[in-house]
Amino acid sequence: MERRSFLKNAGAGLAVGTMAMPAIAQNAPTVKWRLASSFPKSLDTIYGGAEYMAKRVAEATGGKFQIQVFAGGEIVPGPAVFDAVKDGTVEMGHTVSYYFYGKDPTYALETAVPFGMTNRQMDAWMRYGNGSKLLGEVFAKSNIMTIPCGNTTTQMGGWYRKEIKTAADLKGLKIRIGGFAGAVLSKLGAVPQQIPGGDIYPALEKGTIDAAEWIGPYDDQKLGFNKVAKFYYYPGWWEGGPQVSAYVSLKKWAELPKEYQAILQIACADAHVDMVAKYDSKNPTALKQLVGSGTQLKQFPKEVMDACYKAAMDLYAETSASNAQFKKVYDDYKKFMDDQNLWHRIAEGSYASYMYSKR
């Protein structure tokens, strides 16, 4: 099934708990798959997205299609999910594609890139723009199809042991960050570090790193970053709307009955909406608790944002010049985003600005 068709038909306008499922034939086979997550079980919202999806699949098939979810490290380490699905070690994965920036920076466009799209804009590009088609062609080369299966919405800018007042304060800063964002910060003299989520706290505590970004208040509070770094910056300009994805082996996908294919797609769409709703419901309380316990909330100064934006645009130009595949997808992504920003600034942005002023 073409990915564009799925995205337009399997879950557009879905409300949580209102999945319309196809009828299951009485002779439908029992299928058992394994899914490798890139996330630890302690992060119930992002890791829980895969469990929620698997639960919906089982419910819709009367238990005939079962997907067992394994946390990062239980079958393969979190960063190895791509290869596990590609090589057939597992039938599915649940991850974020920018983890695989080192294989090809094009993959990052399936999740988020610095100064990129928001959750709603990303959904529009994937469903009604060329996102699903272009990215489908890229991932198919590795025996993978991706299905949107969550979004954290705009993230925070991370935890810092010292204040960031100017772009010069980024020089020499050892920060847990990777992918495009790490490459952008490198241009400004920072020293990006690739550290798994479970290892961030001890690295900050010991001073091995000076700063770290993860997701947002709810998850960050769970990991205790406020205990070892007091400055909490926003916004996470490198993650305007990071999409979480279900990876499916194309070979295994082809073996599924059509009914199971449809159910898996719809369950992923439902999990996608559910994850956004969970984060939106949990982050406000967590943020108030963090600030109440002494966390100092700071906005990145405009000078810092402008310097990072320029570095990001320079990096995109350089990457496009050396990687034709990236250029093809990024050019379409950027054009779509520019139109989205024009629209959102007029309606959504003006309304939000007014309402925020009334708090």
Contact 180, 105 (CB under 8 A): yes
Triad 324, 326, 329: Cα angle to 5°: 110
Alpha-carbon distance 256 to 306, whole Å? 49
46 membership: H or E segment, kind and range: none
Question: CA neighbours within 13 Å on the CB side: how many for 344?
Answer: 14
Q: Which DSSP category does 198 fall into? A: G
Q: Which residues are annotated as a binding site?
A: 155, 176, 213-214, 239
Q: Which residues are annotated as a binding site for substrate?
A: 155, 176, 213, 239
Alpha-carbon distance 100 to 227, whole Å? 30
Amino acid symbol at 55: K
Residue 21 sits at φ, ψ, to 5 deg, of -100, 145
Which of 49, 96, 39, 42 is closest to 224 using CA atoms? Answer: 42
Q: Which residues are annotated as a binding site for Na(+)?
A: 214
> Please, which residues have CB within 8 angstroms of residue 326's CB and are 6 or more apart in sequence?
104, 105, 106, 109, 319, 320
How, if at all, do strands 31-37 and 65-70 pair?
parallel
